[in-house]
Amino acid sequence: MASNNQDLPEATVQNVLEQDTLKWVFVGGKGGVGKTTCSSILGILLSQFRSSVLIISTDPAHNLSDAFQQRFTKSPTLVNGFSNLYAMEIDPTVEKEDSISSDGMDDFLSDLANAIPGIDEAMSFAEMLKLVQTMDYSVIVFDTAPTGHTLRLLQFPSTLEKGLAKVMSLKSRFGGMLSQMTRLLGVDEEFGEAAILGKLEGMKDIIEEVNRQFKDPDLTTFVCVCIPEFLSLYETERLVQELAKFEIDTHNIIINQVIFDEEVVESKLLKARMRMQQKYLDQFYMLYDDFNITKLPLLPQEVCGVEALKEFSHHFVTPYQPSLARGSVEELQNRVAALKLQLKDAETELERVQKGKQKI
């Protein structure tokens, strides 16, 4: 089966690696397409170009530890075998509880957070970004949660804006009630409404600064990961549209789990799958003709552990080439040898079944 997009130039992620101004690299897409593997490998490749790299997993179902086969926590940890690659896993829903202090102000903020959808995640994310900005990493790779969560993460500045407006409206409507409430909670005057509003304002300032950086194509890019199937194509299109709406630069798409037409693909099921994939690959190339599209081969095993990740990483910088061209003498010899082996196995099986029938 000839590939319809073979004339198109094969792209790699080299442009991301060489853009030395980049500070934030987001990796996102539908669940189960290989985002964590791609984030891990991008981190490994960037560590060859940059002084220090941090990979942050914001997906509640953390797979970063599984990918590297090393335990990561909410504090940056050096990845085994590297001197400048760090990883951490944060959970927005848990992070909020960890930051609660005994002064009672955070208890009130916590209650307030429940009244404003998404503000708990926004504040947690702001805290995490504040932490990250105090550390001096050359580039930060985000292994994001599936698409819906990622888009929420990008909406955090407006979520905090709404939260702040809500608090201000409460203040104007109820006058000194906030002070009374904070006193009821056993909070001193200096931890009253001014402190609460100050804390929210501080969060907003951090988020707004980060949001400004996110919208700067010199500092931020978003790498979309997908597989050549209808739902993934649809989700990628939605993601690209939303990123454009948020003014976030994206010009790289990684298409994972591609079955290449090579060697001895004789299975009817695999051939059907390849035809289906080709249809969606053609659509990807048509829709995103100005993107860098990197195709990764489907492997017979999972990519786990530093060595496996390093080995697979060369497909990110060198377009994958099937080891044997369909129709070449060597490929035909391989197919004949495989068919002879299949015939031999079938004859052995037939002989065994016939002997069994004779015994009965």
Residue pair 140/24 in contact (Cβ under 8 Å)? The answer is yes
User: Annotation-wise, does 30 bind a ligand?
Assistant: yes
Does 74 show up as a binding residue in the annotation?
Answer: no
SS3 content of the chain, % helix, strand, coil (to 5): 55, 10, 35
The model's pTM is: 0.75
Side by side, the strands of the sheet bearing 139-143 are 77-78, 85-89, 53-57, 139-143, 24-28, 220-226, 252-258, 292-297
7 in catalytic set: no
Alpha helix ranges (H) inside 47-185:
64-68, 92-98, 105-115, 119-134, 147-154, 156-174, 177-184
Which pLDDT score is estimated for 265?
A: 61
pLDDT tens for 235-291 read 999 999 988 988 889 999 999 999 887 655 667 888 889 899 999 999 999 999 999
Q: What angle do CA 284, 289, 291 make, to 5 degrees?
A: 90
Q: What is the pLDDT of residue 195?
A: 67
Q: What is the DSSP string of 149-214?
A: HHHHHHTHHHHHHHHHHHHHHHHHHHTTHHHHHHHHTT--GGGSHHHHHHHHHHHHHHHHHHHHHH
Q: pLDDT by residue (tens digit) across 346-360? A: 889 888 888 877 765
Q: Does 99 have pLDDT greater than 50?
A: no
318 is annotated as contributing to ligand binding: no
Does 150 show up as a binding residue in the annotation? no
Q: Known binder of ligand: residue 134?
A: no
Could you say which of 7, 59, 91, 111 is catalytic? Answer: 59
Does 163 count as an annotated binding residue?
no
Cβ proximity of 297 and 23 under 8 Å: no
Q: What is the pLDDT of residues 48-92, one digit of tens each?
A: 999 999 999 877 777 888 999 999 988 889 999 999 999 998 865
